[in-house]
Structure 1
Amino acid sequence: MSDDVRLEEARKHALRPWSAESIAELEREALNDEEMPRVQFSGKALALGVLFILSIVAFLYFVLPQIEGLNDTWHRIEQGSPWWLGVAAVFTVLSFGGYVLLFHGIFAPGAPRQLTAAEAYQVTMAALAATRLFAAAGAGGLALQAWAMRRSGMSRKMVADRTITFLVLQYAVYMACMVIFGVGLYVGLFSGPAPFAITVVPAIFAAVAIAISLLLALTPTDLQRRLEGFARHGGRLARLAQKLATVPATMSQGVRDAIKHVRGRDPSLAGAVAYWGFNIAVLWASFRAFGDSPSLAVLVMSYFVGMLGNLLPLPGGVGGVDGGMIGACIAFGVPSSLAVVAVLTYRAFAFWLPTLPGIVAYFQLRRTVNRWRAEPLPQTTTG
């Protein structure tokens, strides 16, 4: 069955038969897989988390009011609107709803075992908690997601391909927005200040990332097989190159599948737009809680430029994202006192609010995985 036919049938939720041999192989592979990453509270990590919270509180109470140009920060905090803070909380929930929608739309169709929306919620929120708080055997949220999908009966290749597809579709919205709003601000299409460093430079970065992703789609998905002869006669380096060929081949398959989802107008793609859109709406509501919000284009670019702080090796981007987002807002002319309070409020919602349900989902996922272990894979599945 070709990739086009497989994806089309999966999208329409058609029944697809699985042979007894393939099911047995998947079950053996899942049973032989590694154990579930355990929740391990690290004393050092817990202490650092508490210290971070105390530092933020002390910073808000004692330092900000003393900094020149931030004398009205404390007054902004005191006069924050509870109504707008409530709106920010609602937007946070909707944002992660979009994340779950995208995950379910990518991983559920054509899977060997039916993945319900509730199970997709457990996987995504548990992975979020692992990223935020836990030492999950040295693995992050994506590793936990991949492990759970393996336990559901998916092959390693299927998990790898769909993980790449999921990430490509999620971050395609990110990169497209940086190009559109960065260039749009600089050429005057959108209203607002347009510093070159935080409009054109991020737009170039995003355009290069998009181009590289599209070029990866040109890599043969069976590159490893094509290099078998070269590996047999080329020595150790040739064998190493043949093994490493799985990386660009997997990337290529993931990008190709992502393109097919876009061409097929998969409804789950709305989840990617909702995830980023409602995240930005949380930042907008945080600004409205303490004052006026900047223009839409400025808000979008400040958000995405700040999110580049996730590239720093910090847990959950703590510190890097906050500083980057505050700095971008100030560079766009937002008053520093308003930028600091709004961004820290946004981070409180986006970073900490989903953590508690994520912890609950982690333990729910453990029960779900135990149930999967006890249930044989069905002979036919609904995608």
Structure 2
Amino acid sequence: MTASFAMTQLIAAGGAAGLAFTYWALRSIGFATRTALVRLIALNTSVYMVFAMISWLAAGLALLDPDVPLGASVPWLVAVPLIFLAARWFTADVRVGRWTDPDGGRIRDALAVGVGAAAWVRRAIGSDEGRPLFGWALVYWLGDLISLGAALLAFRENPGPIALTVAYTTGYLAQSVPIPLIATGGVDAATTFTLTMVGVPLEAALLGVVTHRIFAFWLPIGPGLWSAVSLTRRARRGEGLIGSPAPSL
């Protein structure tokens, strides 16, 4: 995953490079094409499901915080439950088999992959083998939030944990700006302005976000690139990436 992270940071196009590298890794350890696609989407869905839950919880608590405008919290409170309900409906046992059937053209095949990924996530939640994934995703998001909060404290700004979380999650929704070597620059710009939304001065918000970028994004690029090169060399030598594929759940 560090290799995928590095690819996402170095190459623009909305994180496509990181997704492509993860897909290649899944294929290299023996997953079939469609299974690799399902697993790729499922892994990302798992990570962003935790993100959505953090966003929803922070938005609910933000209703008690006068520094957070309703326009930043209410959309989370409405959208997240609707998405979860839709996913639950599509992946119900009585209909998941029908929706994951790829027969019927490209659109139906794409839908089948998406529903299959959602179904995998639902199984992972109830599986001892899959559940740790969500814990590690939580660690990632909390670590990123702590990094941003510490960066702001360095410039004597402390918006509070709830306001910080709402500003962070709202800014993170921004699409990446296609600038080489700043693949998530759009998120940085959006986070800067969402921090001003909760009362952080623009100058401090910008400095805090840039500092956060150094520690949370640029420093891991070195180990990530080393992992990417190492994995690629091992695959070329026919050694495989790991001993065996991950559990199918």
TM range (shorter): 0.7 to 0.9
Distance 2:17 2:193 in 1: 28
Correspondent of 2:118 among 255, 273, 284: 255
Q: Residue 146 in 1 paired to residue 20 in 2? A: no
What residue number does 1:182 align with? 59
Distance 2:102 2:225 in 1: 44
Change (3 A) 1:150 1:326: same
- Asked whether the equivalents of residues 182 and 203 of structure 1 are also in contact (C-alpha less than 8 Å), the reply is yes
Counterpart residue type for residue 171 of structure 1: Y
What residue number does 2:105 align with? 242
**Alpha-carbon deviation of 1:146?**
0.6
- Asked whether the equivalents of residues 125 and 358 of structure 1 are also in contact (C-alpha less than 8 Å), the reply is yes
Ranges in structure 2 where 5+ consecutive residues have no aligned partner: none
- Asked whether the equivalents of residues 193 and 333 of structure 1 are also in contact (C-alpha less than 8 Å), the reply is yes
Q: Deviations over 1:136-194 (max 9, x none)?
A: 9x9511111111110111112321222222112101111112222112212x1xx4512
Change (3 A) 1:289 1:361: same
Change (3 A) 1:267 1:131: closer
Counterpart residue type for residue 334 of structure 1: V
Correspondent of 1:306 among 161, 171, 177: 171
Which SS does the other structure have where 2:158 is aligned? coil
Change (3 A) 1:126 1:168: same
Change (3 A) 1:250 1:221: farther
Q: Deviations over 1:61-86 (max 9, x none)?
A: xxxxxxxxxxxxxxxxxxxxxxxxxx
Correspondent of 1:269 among 110, 122, 134: 134
Correspondent of 2:75 among 162, 182, 201: 201
Change (3 A) 1:284 1:126: same
Distance 2:111 2:220 in 1: 34
Which SS does the other structure have where 1:153 is aligned? coil
Which SS does the other structure have where 2:85 is aligned? helix
User: RMSD of the TM alignment (CA)?
Assistant: 2.9
What residue number does 1:38 align with? none
Change (3 A) 1:225 1:202: closer
What residue number does 2:198 align with? 332
Which SS does the other structure have where 1:310 is aligned? coil
Normalising by the residue count of structure 1, what TM-score does the alignment of the two structures yield?
A: 0.56
Change (3 A) 1:271 1:338: same
What residue number does 2:32 align with? 155
**Alpha-carbon deviation of 1:130?**
2.0
Which SS does the other structure have where 1:280 is aligned? helix
Correspondent of 1:216 among 87, 90, 114: 90
**Alpha-carbon deviation of 1:293?**
1.9
Aligned residues: 239
Distance 1:288 1:203 in 2: 28
Within 5 A, what are the aligned runs for 1:82-93? Answer: none
Distance 2:102 2:2 in 1: 39
Distance 2:202 2:106 in 1: 51
- Asked whether the equivalents of residues 99 and 115 of structure 2 are also in contact (C-alpha less than 8 Å), the reply is no
Identity among equivalent pairs (%): 24
Distance 1:381 1:146 in 2: 13
Q: Deviations over 1:83-102 (max 9, x none)?
A: xxxxxxxxxxxxxxxxxxxx
Correspondent of 2:221 among 355, 362, 376: 355
Change (3 A) 1:172 1:223: closer
What residue number does 1:288 align with? 153
Distance 2:177 2:56 in 1: 22
Ranges in structure 1 where 5+ consecutive residues have no aligned partner: 1-123, 228-240
**Alpha-carbon deviation of 1:350?**
2.2
- Once the two structures are overlaid, the 10-residue window that deviates more, 291-300 or 200-209, is 200-209
Change (3 A) 1:291 1:362: same
Change (3 A) 1:261 1:308: same
Distance 2:69 2:222 in 1: 39
Moved >4 Å (runs of 4+): 222-227, 311-315, 380-383
Distance 2:31 2:156 in 1: 49
Normalising by the residue count of structure 2, what TM-score does the alignment of the two structures yield?
A: 0.83
Counterpart residue type for residue 199 of structure 1: S
Counterpart residue type for residue 309 of structure 1: A
